[in-house]
Amino acid sequence: MTATLTAATRGLVEITGVRKSFGTTEVLKGVSLTVEPGGVAVIVGPSGSGKSTLLRTINHLEKVDGGHITIDGQLVGYEVRGDRLHELREKEILKQRTEIGMVFQNFNLFPHLTALENVAEAPVVAHQPGKARRSKAEARRRGLELLDRVGLKDRADAYPRQLSGGQQQRVAIARALALDPKILLFDEPTSALDPELVNEVLDVIRELATSGTTLIIVTHEMGFARDVADTVVFMDQGQIVEQGTPQDIFSNPQEPRTRSFFSKVL
Ligand code: ADP
Ligand code: MG
């Protein structure tokens, strides 16, 4: 175990044989996935196949029952002592989570904070070892820069209720970027949006993808997946059934389950 964990890892994210059960139901049945630095993995698959659970194991919002995950060579949620894994203390886990940005379907902005405060608050509050805690002024400056990046500099003082769903989700993306995470996770970032607001959010994610941010994205937007993914991962019933380039998966799927899924959604 120790040897495999200290061996040089190829991927920025290495998910190895991850298992997870809820009660007697095994919802992840040994999932392995590598995402290279700057890579974009898009996970698709039917509802209930374990996509959200897999994302949540990456930042230890769900504990794995088997297997392990490393980010930049560092085990997530555990440390090796002797030849056994021990769960990290809460403080250490929170520290690790500052390296992993997550964007949810329902934005999850703080309703009583402005757009800028939502973005700028995180780096002031979060303790980042190795990085100085940012001053308020510095966090504001950086917050405005990030709002500019998602096209919302002019809405910095608006409260979430004054923003459209698409704008709120763009603020949520800026907030996820504020801690300079090594990787960003997206769980169906456009599923709660009215159709006319979907593209403004996808455009922001597309910009991140082309600028070299490492991304893992769960989405049902197949056209977008084809555009941005280096790797498309098809999950069904707690397993990765097939993965490959968009061309492989969309145009030449090998597995009957993959073909059957795409025949319904494409
Ligand atoms: P997906 O995101 O692909 O729709 P999920 O990861 O949300 O799938 O869910 C996979 C399975 O795990 C589903 O059967 C779901 O009902 C179950 N599940 C997810 N979270 C929990 C939980 N906290 N407790 C019990 N069952 C859960
Ligand atoms: Mg889900």
Q: Are 218 and 188 in contact (CB under 8 A)?
A: yes
Sheet holding 25-35, edge to edge: 25-35, 13-22, 66-71, 74-75
Rounded alpha-carbon distances, angstroms, from residue 110 to 55, 94, 107, 116, 211: 22, 19, 9, 11, 28
pLDDT exceeds cutoff 80 at 127: no
Q: Could you give the strand order of the β-sheet that contains 231-236, starting from the edge strand earlier in sequence?
A: 100-103, 183-187, 215-218, 40-44, 231-236, 239-244
Q: With b meaning 16 or more CB within 10 Å and e meaning fewer, what string describes 182-198?
A: bbbbbbbbbeebeeebb
For residues 28-37, average pLDDT? 97
Q: Which tens digit of pLDDT belongs to each residue from 146-172?
A: 999 999 999 999 999 999 999 999 999
Per-residue pLDDT, averaged over 123-152, amounts to 80
Q: Which atom of ligand 1 is nearest to the CA of 62?
A: 23
Could you give the count of Cα atoms lying within 13 Å of 144 in the half-sphere of its Cβ? Answer: 7
CA of 48 to the centre of ligand 2 (A): 7
- In angstroms, the CA 26 to CA 66 distance is 11
Banded model confidence at residue 92, pLDDT cuts 50, 70, 90: very high
Residue nearest to atom 16 of ligand 1 (CA): 48
pLDDT tens sequence across 214-233: 999 999 999 999 999 999 99
Does the C-beta of 68 come closer than 6 Å to ligand 1? Answer: no
**Amino acid letter for position 217:** I
Q: What is the pLDDT, as a whole number, of residue 123?
A: 67
What's the gap in Å between 242 CA and the centre of ligand 1? 20
Q: Which whole-number Å values give the CA distances from 10 to 14, 85, 103, in the listed order?
A: 8, 22, 25
Of all protein residues, whose CA lies closest to atom 23 belonging to ligand 1? 22
- Using the predicted structure, report yes or no on whether residue 1 has a pLDDT greater than 50: no
Tell which residue, 230, 229, 228, 234, has the closest CA to residue 262: 234
Beta-carbon contacts of residue 82 (< 8 Å; ≥ 6 apart): none
Instruction: Report helix angle 115-125 to 165-177, nearest 10.
Output: 20
For residues 1 and 23, give the distance between their C-alpha atoms in angstroms, rounded to a whole number: 27
Q: Which single residue is written with the structure tokens 């159709």? A: 195
Q: Torsions phi, psi of 240, nearest 5?
A: -80, 115
**What does pTM read for this prediction?**
0.93
What token pair was written down for 35?
């995402």
Ligand 1: residue of 24, 25, 26, 27 to mutate (most ligand atoms within 8 A of CB) is 27
Q: Which two tokens stand for residue 50?
A: 């374990």
C-alpha distances out from residue 258 to 95, 132, 154, 240, 264, Å: 38, 47, 44, 10, 10
Mean pLDDT of 90-106: 94
